[in-house]
Amino acid sequence: MVPEVEFTSYYGRAIVKPPPWGDLIASYLFLGGVAGGSGLLAFGAQLTGRKLLCRNARLGAIAAVSIGGAALVADLGRPDRFYNMLRTIKPTSPMSIGSWILTAYSGGMGVAAVSEIDRLTRNRLPLGPFRGLLSFAEPVGGAVAAAFGPPLAAYTAVLLSDTANPTWNAAHRDLPFVFVSSASLAASGLAMVTTPTRETRPARVLAVIGVAGDLIGTRWMERRMDPVAAEPLHQGRPGTLLRWSERLAAAGGFGALLLGGHRLPAALAGIALLGASACTRFGILEAGINSAKDPRYTIEPQRRRLEERRAAGITDDSITTVG
Amino acid sequence: MVNSWNPVRGGWAHELSGPTDPATDSGWTEHEARRGFFTDTSICIGCKACEVACKEWNRNPRDGDLELTGWSYDNTQGLGASTWRHVAFIEQDAARVEQARESGRRLVDLGMPRIGAPTADAPVDRTPPDTAEFRWLMASDVCKHCTHAGCLDVCPTGALFRTEFGSVVVQPDVCNGCGTCVAGCPFGVIERRSDGTAAPTTREGERKGEQPKVPRRGVAQKCTLCYDRLVDGQTPACAKTCPTTSIKFGEHAELVAAARDRVRELHEQGMPEARLYGANELDGVGGTGSVFLLLDEPEVYGLPPDPRVPTADLQVMFRRAGFAAAGMVAAAVVAFVGGGR
């Protein structure tokens, strides 16, 4: 029998601090996902000879990763020192690992995208002697981007969860599954917007799998979280965003499944999917920020787990001791 | 150890959680004895000399707009980028005092780690200011300098580092202000200066509502355990100035022993509510460098009741992310191979 958790605080003041992350970081979470998923789609298209899908996914990916990377740098307290992240590799820092994943991905996708742009502009890029090299480097770049795409989509979940933030940390087991699903459906959505239906069938299949993963994954994640730590996911603006994420994902998923063969409905479904992913990212980010602003979300889950351990006879691992 | 990261030190799991020597883990082959604070809140008089000495020595700018909070005598509110010592004031009536004592007795009854046999509550010797009807708790909070420091673990630039004294320090010229450490700290200590989420005024000047020019803007800042003083063999400014020795500085092992003695002493004086915070190396952060003696539950002082360094679960998180990424690849393979034209 675990006693009821009683809640006291220091004048209602928050215990943990929210990180100074806002819309720029949420945008990066979204765009990084779009890029990660597009890396896979572009590589699949590259291997199966879907030239338009390949081109559009690559161009979408490089745009997403460029804007996202710029957002990341702009959000720093000292943007002029962004390169300090690339002066070390720290396995304990998801941000460090992520910087390297992002760098490797951007390198690969950059090469692939430059090839596409060169082809589009009929060899007008000033590449000089490197044009010859590019024909060899292009497929390799596409492969590198595909290899680092899924890690790019997944690491941001670890970045959020590897914190003392009550909501993000409580989601640490399942948030990666939500994020890769969201990335898959968003990248597929972008492909459905940009590419004629004759080449987007794989994207539509990936979209449906992504929607299923997103809807099931989010529910499963919330069920396994501490009920109090999960509350901010349902309240205020994050609550609204996450409800819309669910609706848009479902609508986009059905659209892709049933009407994906028609150009206009497919594009509309694609927009819905992109919107769903954006809502997920902004919602999860804001829910975590909110959870850090109220001491209840820190104290109640911690009290509960402490009391549960004590009730189970584990009394040697508390930070509070009597001697 | 299955995950042999460093064959010399035999595995690296102990670098993420559990009892360990943090300076050795950080690669110091020869290092000083671990230093820390023991803040005995039972003899704090709330003079805030520690806050002032810290601000002066570290040249920390003002926080916010100098508002009056109505929280007893606490207008500082909490630790932050420019406030590295914070004195909390809590006013309690007889019922709250009895509640605190009850929770203290419960801790003793749990048979939590302690030295010596539990002693029965002796007749109460209520010397002022501890009166029967009312008491005023004052406690000087500071960075915990955790054995497993979340801020340091998640820092992507190496700006945060472990000193030879076992403390955790930011190098302001390396930090790029990403803010990950702010989220990584289970105690809400470290903060990005000036343009963080709770931005103080940007009006510059010396009058109320204005702020003198802020140094080290945009980078993470927190208590350094006065690293610059330590390397010179000096005591940190707060401990040096504390008039009641409520803040003690010294070798960590000795401080923890002294803290345990002090709890026993207070229990014998009829204060079963006395307890230690951070003195247990089996806790969620591997014990803290700054140990506190509290007279009520931690959350009453604004401290988390069961903090856990987030990186303790890092292996689980990376493994789950790996599964998720593999699942994404599998979905793409299904989409292209099984999807047909």
Q: Which helix (H) or strand (E) holds B40?
A: strand B35-40
- Which of B280, B300, B310 shows the shortest C-beta gap to A321? B280
Give yes or no for B250 touching A (CB within 8 A). Answer: no
| Predicted local distance difference test score (pLDDT) of residue B145 | 97
Q: How confident is the model at residue B211 (pLDDT cuts 50, 70, 90)?
A: low
The pair of three-digit structure tokens given for residue B327, joined into one six-digit string: 């699942």
Residues of B in contact with A307 (CB under 8 A): none
The closest of A158, A316, A144, A306 to B180, measured between CA atoms, is A158
| Predicted local distance difference test score (pLDDT) of residue B67 | 82
> Which of residues B129 and B8 earns the better pLDDT score?
B129
| Predicted local distance difference test score (pLDDT) of residue B2 | 36
| Predicted local distance difference test score (pLDDT) of residue B209 | 62
pLDDT (tens digit, 9 = 90+) per residue, B226-242?
999 999 999 999 999 99
Q: Is B146 helix (H, G, I), strand (E, B) or coil?
A: strand
Q: How confident is the model at residue B186 (pLDDT cuts 50, 70, 90)?
A: very high
Ranges A110-114, B32-36, B221-225, B270-274: which has the least confidence: B270-274
CA distance A122 to A116: 10
Angstrom distances, CA of residue A276 to CA of A21, A71, A138, A187, A245: 21, 20, 32, 11, 4
Contact A120, A178 (CB under 8 A): no
A 216-245 residues with CB < 8 A to B: none
Q: How confident is the model at residue B213 (pLDDT cuts 50, 70, 90)?
A: confident
Q: Say whether B188 and A154 touch across the interface (CB within 8 A).
A: no
Angstrom distances, CA of residue B292 to CA of A225, B150, B248, B288: 31, 19, 10, 9
End-to-end CA gap in chain A: 27
Contact A39, A148 (CB under 8 A): yes
B242 known member of a binding site:
yes
B 302-321 residues with CB < 8 A to A: 302-308, 310-311, 313-314, 316-318, 320-321
Give yes or no for A306 touching B (CB within 8 A). Answer: yes
DSSP A128-163: TTHHHHHHHHHHHHHHHHHHHHHHHHHHHHHHHHSS
B226 known member of a binding site:
yes
The pair of three-digit structure tokens given for residue A37, joined into one six-digit string: 């998923």
Name beta bridge partners: B204.
B211
Contact B104, B273 (CB under 8 A): yes
CA distance A217 to A60: 26
B 32-61 residues with CB < 8 A to A: none
pLDDT (tens digit, 9 = 90+) per residue, B107-145?
988 865 554 444 555 555 555 555 678 899 999 999 999
CB hemisphere CA count around A193 (13 angstroms): 20
pLDDT (tens digit, 9 = 90+) per residue, B271-297?
999 999 999 999 999 999 999 999 999
Domain B18-308 has CATH 3.30.1330.40: no
Nearest chain B Cα distance for residue A313, angstroms: 9
Give yes or no for A26 touching B (CB within 8 A). Answer: no
Contact B180, A95 (CB under 8 A): yes
- Which of B108, B157, B300 shows the shortest C-beta gap to A322? B108
CA distance B274 to B267: 7
**Mean predicted lDDT score pLDDT of chain B:** 87
CA distance A266 to A273: 10
Give yes or no for A213 touching B (CB within 8 A). Answer: yes
CA distance B82 to B166: 22
Which 8-state DSSP code applies to residue B62? P
CA distance A36 to B317: 19
The pair of three-digit structure tokens given for residue A27, joined into one six-digit string: 């945008």
CA distance B195 to A4: 39
CA distance B77 to B64: 10
Nearest CA in chain B to A303: B305
Q: Say whether A172 and B320 touch across the interface (CB within 8 A).
A: yes
Count CB-CB contacts under 10 A for residue B213: 8
A119-123, B12-16, B36-40, range with greatest mean pLDDT: B36-40
The closest of A59, A6, A15 to A34, measured between CA atoms, is A59
For β-strands B290-294 and B35-40, DSSP reports them as: parallel
Contact A251, A273 (CB under 8 A): no
Nearest chain A Cα distance for residue B339, angstroms: 6
Q: Which residues contact B137 (CB under 8 A, 6 or more apart)?
A: B41, B88, B89, B90, B91, B92, B295, B296, B300, B301
- Is 60 exceeded by the pLDDT of residue B3? no
- Is 80 exceeded by the pLDDT of residue B212? no
- Is 90 exceeded by the pLDDT of residue B207? no
| Predicted local distance difference test score (pLDDT) of residue A151 | 98
DSSP A31-88: HHHHHHHHHHHHHHHHHHT-HHHHHHHHHHHHHHHHHHHHHHHHHSSSGGGGGGGGG-
**In the predicted model, what is the mean pLDDT of residues B99-114?**
82
Q: What values do phi and psi take at A209, rounded to 5?
A: -65, -40
Can you state the angle between helices B314-333 and A130-161, rounded to 10 degrees? 130
Please give the interface size between A and B, counted as residue pairs whose CB atoms are below 8 Å apart: 327
| Predicted local distance difference test score (pLDDT) of residue B218 | 85
Residues of chain A with pLDDT under 70: 1-6
Contact A128, B147 (CB under 8 A): no
CA distance A201 to B233: 70
Provide the residue ranges of all domains of chain B, joining segments of one domain with +: 18-308, 310-341
Contact A105, A152 (CB under 8 A): yes
User: Amino acid identity, residue A284?
Assistant: I
Contact B221, B81 (CB under 8 A): yes
Residues of A in contact with B177 (CB under 8 A): 76-78, 81
B54 known member of a binding site:
yes
Provide the residue ranges of all domains of chain A, joining segments of one domain with +: 23-311
CA distance A322 to B238: 26
Q: Say whether B177 and A81 touch across the interface (CB within 8 A).
A: yes
| Predicted local distance difference test score (pLDDT) of residue A37 | 98
Q: Say whether A323 and B300 touch across the interface (CB within 8 A).
A: no
The pair of three-digit structure tokens given for residue A269, joined into one six-digit string: 């479904």
Q: How many residues does chain B have?
A: 341
Nearest chain B Cα distance for residue A168, angstroms: 10
What is A23-311's CATH topology?
Answer: Formate dehydrogenase/DMSO reductase fold (1.20.1630)
CA distance A12 to A4: 20
Give yes or no for A191 touching B (CB within 8 A). Answer: no
| Predicted local distance difference test score (pLDDT) of residue B114 | 53
> Is the bond preceding B200 in cis, omega lying within 30 degrees of 0?
no
**In the predicted model, what is the mean pLDDT of residues B26-39?**
94
B289 known member of a binding site:
no
User: Amino acid identity, residue B306?
Assistant: D
| Predicted local distance difference test score (pLDDT) of residue B121 | 54
